[in-house]
Amino acid sequence: MILAVFNLIPGFPLDGGRIFRALVWQRTQDYRRATRIATKVGQVIAYAFMAGGIALIIFVPQYWFGGLWLTFIGWFLRDAARTSYQQVLLRDALIGITARQVTDYGCPLIPPDLNLMELVQQHILPTGRSCFLITPGAELEGMVTLQQIKGVPRTRWAITSVQDIMTPASKLKVAYAGQDILSVLEEMNGESTDHIPVMEAGKAIGIINREDIARFLRTRADFGISSTLG
């Protein structure tokens, strides 16, 4: 009962906060504005918890543990509200964006028999790239990252091929050129990966990484372009 009552406090992103956002959304017909208002209310409640906890520690020292607990709850609610609002802004900014728009088409497609020494000297040092797609022709065979290369002693680079250490295609999540970027991000989060190959017509055409998505959003923000402009 205590947990249920606590969860109904109108502090976003608690259930009570989400109910409050729904009511504001119904009234304003603006989802982002409703989320912003619910977030502000949630942060006010969070700071009230923190202030109450600190006051309890100072003025009623015998209940210092309860005061510490209230302060911790307030701190948690504040950060949760801020993170939830940022996620809403991110989703809004990416609506209508497809994988094709953020694909790095310049990512080299390297043959599976290339050894690590050649890969480092010919591709990594000149370009600074940290992820490569392995393909002998049209079909994707695998992917190799800088982290995997670092796991091999340098003395073995000349005798170790990328095929020996790559993640095979059968174990890779892939994106498709026309796929919306929000679902691509969900797949990347599910796999805890920063890179994902992009396929079109059965061929590997490039790669998406989190840095490219962040750069894409910054560029649009610099030019004042909203997601509604496509």
**pLDDT digit string, tens, across residues 6-26:** 788 887 888 888 899 899 999
Residue where a domain terminates, one of 64, 94, 124? 94
pLDDT for the residue 138:
66
26 plus 118 within the same structural domain: no
83 plus 111 within the same structural domain: no
The answer as to whether 228 is a domain residue is no
Residue 69 to residue 151: CA distance in whole angstroms: 43
What is the average pLDDT value for the chain, to the nearest integer? Answer: 87
Query: What residues contact residue 149 under an 8 Å CB cut-off, 6+ apart?
Result: 116, 119, 120, 124, 157, 165
148 plus 177 within the same structural domain: yes
> Which residue, 148, 113, 146, 139, is CA-closest to 197?
139
The answer as to whether 109 is a domain residue is yes
pLDDT for the residue 197:
93
76 plus 157 within the same structural domain: no
pLDDT for the residue 192:
79
What tokens does 40 get?
Answer: 């502000």
51 plus 105 within the same structural domain: no
pLDDT for the residue 228:
41
What tokens does 137 get?
Answer: 């022709």
| Cβ(140)–Cβ(204) below 8 Å | yes
Q: Which helix (H) or strand (E) holds 225?
A: none
The answer as to whether 28 is a domain residue is yes
In this prediction, residues 31-39 reach a mean pLDDT of 87
Q: How many folded domains does the chain comprise?
A: 2
Residue where a domain terminates, one of 40, 63, 94? 94
127 plus 214 within the same structural domain: yes
27 plus 108 within the same structural domain: no
pLDDT for the residue 58:
92
Cα separations (Å) of 60 from 6, 50, 53, 63, 70?
A: 23, 15, 10, 6, 13
> Which range of residues forms the domain containing residue 133?
99-222
30 plus 124 within the same structural domain: no
The answer as to whether 230 is a domain residue is no
Residue where a domain terminates, one of 94, 112, 135? 94
Residue 119's domain is classified under what CATH number?
3.10.580.10
The answer as to whether 63 is a domain residue is yes
130 plus 208 within the same structural domain: yes
With cut-offs at 50, 70 and 90, classify the pLDDT of residue 230: very low
